[in-house]
Structures are given as C-alpha cells and as structure tokens.
C-alpha cells in the first residue's frame, strides 16, 4: 500500500496547532535539561504520563543532577522510584548515569548510537531524548505514535513494518520543532487516537487520515480479549511486594523472604527473588539458620 510521502505540510501544521492549544500540561515538559528528560523518558516507558510526571518531580528533587544520581546508593534510588513499578528501570537509569559520568564527562550524549548503548535505553527512548533535549529531527516511535502514524498513512496500525514506520516517523518531523512535534504525536495517541473507539471527529489529522476515511457501518468494535488473571496472582505483583518489604529496611540490613506472600507460596517467592537478583534490583544472602528462607536486601 502506498504511503503519504512527503508528509503533507498542512497535516503537520494542523497537528502542531492542535498541540499548542490542547496539549497536556506535564511537569517534565518545561525542561530542556537532557538529564531530566532522560529520567522522564525512563519513567514513562511503562507508566502513564500523569503518574510519571508526579514521580518525576519527586525524583528530581532527590537527585537534581546526573552526578547525584550516579553517586547515590542503589537502595536510595529504588526508594525514590517507589510507586512506579518495573524497578529494573531505576537500576538501569542509575547504571546509565554512571556510564555518562565515566565515559561522557557527565554530559548526556546526543548521538543516537551512544544513547542506545546506555542501559535501559532502546530506539524509542534514544530518539525521544535526541528530539526533546537536543532538537534532532528524529521520530520517536512508541505505541501511541505507531498507532497515530500507522492510521494516518496506511489506514491502520501494523500495516507498515518497523523499518517503514521509522522512515515515516523521521520524514514527518518538522526540522525546526522536533521536540514540540514529539509531544504532539504522543498526546494525540493518548487522548484522541485511542486503540478502541478513537475520537476521529476531534482529531486534527482527520482530513488526511486513511483510517478516519475508511467507511464503517458502525463504530469499530473492540477485539474480544481473554480474561486476564487477577494482578495479585502475577509474578510482577509478587516482585513488587518483595521490593516493598526491602524498601522499609535500612541500607544493608537483611530481610527474611518468608512466604507465602499473598497467594504465592515459598517456592514462588524464591523464583521471584532470584529474578529480581538477576535484574540487579535486590541482593540475596544465605539463610541465617538451616531450613530458613533466603535473606535479601536492596543493593548498596
């Protein structure tokens, strides 16, 4: 299927105009500090933007500079990350800060290859930092942006392969406003171009959008999804509870990981703890007494 190329200037202008008056107000959008933007993007990887914004404000008050983060005890970083989940992101963020201090003179690199080499920084995060912090004309493609651009140029998400999608995203970026554009696409995806029942009539891209132009006899029905197991039965929930136990202990103090925790027996606790140790989130120690469960602490 042919795609729109080059990206129409009128479409780009409509999106930018919409964002100027309708874009979300988020605390991390008021900064151009590359370190602060790197923190915000690490938080937003698997967290809603509003929630990430609240956590970002607290985290930046605790670690206002890249060097303060690099020099901190990992346990303190994990405590500052409380409420965000996916605690490996906090460990990777500090690892990235230490690499930047050691290898880049304490300055977040602007080069895409250098950014992608940092722990926890993939293609999307690298391009988001490059566009937002350094105004490089690169397209940051996350789930929301993929849906917006895929619907506009190809009629739906998934029609374009990743390489083609990245090319469309890069071609669409206005050279003089890449950061503004990045936020605009993210907001359209989050508020209008939703996975189910998108608000096409309110979308500034509607006149150019192949998805919106496709004839439909009725609103697109959501796909049938299997009922997921309760969150409290997942390994993710269990891992979070283990870390919460350790956050309450002083740095360096061992805590006995005694099961059950919720519906998870001792064997499940041990498996989850081992996974957390592999991720660098906790440190495991031998039992104090024979037959006792393993001990654990946050890394120091």
Which of 41, 54, 135, 288 is catalytic? The answer is: 41
Distance from C-alpha of 80 to C-alpha of 252, rounded to nearest angstrom: 17
Whether 41 is catalytic: yes
Please check whether residue 20 is in contact with residue 183, taking contact to mean a CB–CB distance below 8 angstroms.
no
State the alpha helices, DSSP H only, in 230-265. 235-247
**Burial state string for 282-293 with b = 16 or more CB within 10 A and e = fewer than 16:** bbeeeeeeeeee
Half-sphere exposure of 51 (CA within 13 A, CB side): 12
Q: Pick the closest to residue 207 from 1, 14, 71 (CA basis).
A: 14
Distance from C-alpha of 162 to C-alpha of 149, rounded to nearest angstrom: 12
Burial of 83 (0-12, 13-18, 19+ CB in 10 A): exposed
Tokens for 292, please give them: 């006792």
SS3 for 261? strand
Positions annotated as catalytic residues are: 41
């Amino acid at each position: 299927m042919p795609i729109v190329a080059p990206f129409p200037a009128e479409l780009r202008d409509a999106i930018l105009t919409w964002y100027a008056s309708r874009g979300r107000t988020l605390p991390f959008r008021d900064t151009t500090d590359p370190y602060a933007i790197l923190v915000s993007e690490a938080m937003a990887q698997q967290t809603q933007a509003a929630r990430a914004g609240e956590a970002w404000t607290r985290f930046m008050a605790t670690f206002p500079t890249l060097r303060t983060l690099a020099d901190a005890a990992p346990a303190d970083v994990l405590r500052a990350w409380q409420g965000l989940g996916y605690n490996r992101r906090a460990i990777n963020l500090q690892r990235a800060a230490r690499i930047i201090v050691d290898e880049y003179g304490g300055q977040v690199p602007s080069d895409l290859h250098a950014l992608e080499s940092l722990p926890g920084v993939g293609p999307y995060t690298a391009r988001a930092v490059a566009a937002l912090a350094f105004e490089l004309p690169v397209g940051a493609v996350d789930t929301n942006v993929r849906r917006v651009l895929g619907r506009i140029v190809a009629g739906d998400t998934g029609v374009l392969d990743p390489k083609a999608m990245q090319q469309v995203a890069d071609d669409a970026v206005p050279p003089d406003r890449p950061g503004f554009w990045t936020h605009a696409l993210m907001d359209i995806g989050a508020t209008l171009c939703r996975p189910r029942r998108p608000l096409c009539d309110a979308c500034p891209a509607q006149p150019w959008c192949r998805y919106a132009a496709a004839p439909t006899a009725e609103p697109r029905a959501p796909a049938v999804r299997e009922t997921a197991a309760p969150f409290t039965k997942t390994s993710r929930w269990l891992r979070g509870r283990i870390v919460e136990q350790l956050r309450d202990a002083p740095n360096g103090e061992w805590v006995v990981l005694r099961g059950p925790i919720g519906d998870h027996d001792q064997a499940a606790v041990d498996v989850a703890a081992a996974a957390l140790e592999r991720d660098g989130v906790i440190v495991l120690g031998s039992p104090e007494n024979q037959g006792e469960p393993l001990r654990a602490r946050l890394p120091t």
